[in-house]
């Protein structure tokens, strides 16, 4: 696949450097610049832009009152400079600066107030341990810096920079895995490398860890290594839950292809990998381990959620009405879970009823996208989850770039809204209008994916084989496998396996 021949966006972008590749050009002979290495270079540039975008929030100043260096968040810098990152306040909010062990250490928020409550680390175990290890590395860095061997700074700045290094490496792993999975279209990985969402949200939180596990899990499945795929998806689920959702599309496609044993091996490996990370913490510090689930059950509709959009534009009080402190939004939790399950059922129906078995990446994108659309929380960095899946599912450069630009632009009105009216921030309607636009674009992508599932001739990945249409280059054992179970309008249809001739059968006479 030569992008300047097939992608209008790449064709236009090539004009400053001489235009599209010539028809008689020698391809694939350069000793160094492969599509993957170009994508990784673009990613390093994009990650550098992302780091500089957050750097304003780790600047220091000398406090004349305390006579110490402090983090310069004066004058609402995180919102005016649009550099906010969860990583920075979490260093103290999660008590990483005290040296305590996550899930064991507890503290009281709002101490002395009616809203006082006991808190623990609120992240899944792998992400929580990632933060703790980086905090210890920051302590070690500062100890060496005190001896004059390294440049120094305040602890939270060192913690942020160390975390950003590993998160950047995780995104590079994501690009590598997608490029290997999309082996017939390796240039598509450049979309992940140059994504505006990368530049805005790579260091907003710790989500690139999960994208790396999800992408490498899909690569392992594409390489027909179901156990390794399960291990990687299970570890991803221990960082963020969404990689475990990918087991659903795998199950439905394996049912259709009659490869349920491969799915069972993957699912078992995922459960064991998740348990290996979680069970020790679960038994040693059960209350601390449960904090992630407890805090998420208490959360109301996030500002970025459709429930909040409807509430703000219509005056609707929500499914649960006004809630008091620490009250669980039971109806909101139930409705969001039910809507997601209904969407998953719809994706399963499409997978079993489509005339040609869908590709794995198509269903994975639909499942994760519908989760974000129906969930009560869509933190801005969650959009990173969709980037590698979208590139694998619907590699149409102009369309994907348009979505990523719109999604990244939501950050600006969000930061301006958080300033508040008293500080000349934007009204909430501006922010919610961008949220609605973002959601509509994601829905349009889902519609496009479903259209290409039912019209496989329009699927650019299936057309990558030239005159011979492809099945699913990233499908692993599913690639080229015959259907065994499909869903007709009147019910299920089992496709019998091809009959084998008896071992003692004689060839027919000529």
Residues 342-399 have pLDDT tens digits of 999 999 999 999 999 999 999 999 999 999 999 999 999 999 999 999 999 999 999 9
Mean pLDDT of the residues in the chain: 88
Distance, first Cα to last Cα, the chain? 46
Report the 10 Å Cβ neighbour count for 239: 27
Q: Can you tell me which residue has the tokens 């490869």?
A: 259
pLDDT at 51 over 80: yes
At residue 70, φ and ψ (nearest 5 deg) are -135, 165
**What are 148-172's pLDDT values in tens digits?**
788 888 999 999 999 999 999 999 9
Coil/strand/helix, residue 457: helix
Question: For residues 411 and 334, is the Cβ–Cβ distance under 8 A?
Answer: no
pLDDT band at residue 463 using 50, 70 and 90 as cut-offs: confident
Question: For residues 48 and 203, is the Cβ–Cβ distance under 8 A?
Answer: no
Q: What would the two tokens of residue 320 be? A: 């649960």
Q: Can you tell me which residue has the tokens 């879970």?
A: 337
Query: Exposure of 410 by Cβ count < 10 A (0-12 exposed, 13-18 middle, 19+ buried)?
Result: buried
Bridge-partner residues for 374, per DSSP? none
pLDDT at 325 over 50: yes
pLDDT band at residue 501 using 50, 70 and 90 as cut-offs: very low
The answer to whether the predicted template modeling score (pTM) of the entire model surpasses 0.95 is no
**What are 126-145's pLDDT values in tens digits?**
999 999 999 999 999 999 98
pLDDT at 183 over 50: yes
Average pLDDT over every residue of 400-418:
94
The secondary structure of residue 60, as a DSSP letter, is: E
> Rounded to whole angstroms, how far apart are CA atoms 301 and 308?
6
């Amino acid at each position: 696949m030569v992008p300047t021949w097939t992608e209008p966006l790449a064709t236009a972008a090539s004009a400053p450097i001489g235009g599209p590749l010539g028809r008689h050009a020698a391809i694939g002979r350069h000793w160094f610049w492969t599509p993957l290495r170009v994508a990784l270079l673009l990613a390093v540039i994009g990650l550098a832009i992302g780091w500089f975008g957050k750097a304003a929030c780790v600047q220091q100043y000398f406090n004349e009152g305390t006579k110490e260096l402090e983090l310069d968040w004066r004058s609402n810098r995180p919102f005016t400079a649009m550099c906010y990152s969860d990583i920075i306040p979490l260093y103290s909010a999660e008590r990483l600066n005290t040296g305590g062990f996550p899930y064991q250490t507890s503290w009281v928020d709002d101490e002395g107030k009616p809203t006082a409550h006991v808190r623990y680390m609120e992240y899944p175990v792998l992400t929580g341990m990632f933060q703790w290890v980086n905090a210890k590395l920051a302590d070690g860095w500062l100890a060496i810096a005190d001896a004059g061997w390294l440049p120094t700074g305040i602890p939270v700045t060192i913690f942020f920079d160390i975390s950003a290094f590993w998160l950047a490496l995780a995104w590079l792993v994501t690009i590598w895995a997608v490029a290997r999975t999309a082996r017939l279209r390796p240039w598509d990985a450049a979309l992940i490398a140059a994504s505006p969402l990368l530049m805005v949200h790579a260091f907003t939180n710790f989500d690139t860890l999960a994208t790396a596990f999800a992408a490498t899990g899909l690569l392992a499945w594409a390489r027909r290594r179901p156990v390794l795929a399960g291990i990687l998806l299970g570890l991803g689920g221990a960082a963020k839950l969404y990689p475990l959702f990918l087991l659903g599309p795998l199950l439905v496609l394996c049912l259709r292809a009659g490869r349920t044993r491969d799915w069972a091996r993957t699912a078992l490996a995922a459960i064991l990998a998740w348990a290996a990370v979680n069970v020790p913490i679960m038994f040693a510090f059960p209350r601390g381990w449960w904090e992630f689930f407890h805090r998420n059950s208490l959360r109301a509709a996030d500002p970025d959620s459709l429930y909040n959009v409807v509430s703000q534009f219509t005056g609707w009080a929500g499914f649960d009405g006004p809630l008091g402190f620490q009250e669980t939004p039971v109806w909101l939790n139930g409705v969001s879970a039910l809507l997601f399950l209904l969407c998953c059922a719809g994706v399963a129906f499409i997978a079993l009823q489509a005339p040609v078995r869908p590709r794995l990446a198509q269903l994975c994108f639909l499942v994760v996208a519908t989760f974000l659309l129906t969930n009560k929380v869509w933190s801005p960095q969650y959009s990173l989850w969709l980037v590698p899946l979208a590139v694998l599912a619907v590699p149409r450069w102009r369309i994907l770039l348009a979505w990523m630009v719109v999604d990244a632009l939501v950050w600006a009105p969000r930061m301006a809204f958080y300033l508040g009216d008293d500080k000349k921030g934007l009204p909430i309607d501006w922010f919610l209008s961008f949220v609605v636009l973002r959601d509509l674009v994601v829905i349009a992508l889902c519609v496009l994916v479903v259209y290409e599932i039912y019209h496989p001739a329009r699927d650019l990945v299936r057309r990558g084989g030239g005159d011979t249409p492809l099945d699913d280059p990233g499908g692993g054992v599913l690639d080229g496998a015959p259907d065994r179970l499909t869903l007709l309008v009147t019910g299920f249809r089992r496709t019998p396996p091809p009959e084998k001739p008896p071992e003692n059968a004689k060839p027919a006479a000529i």
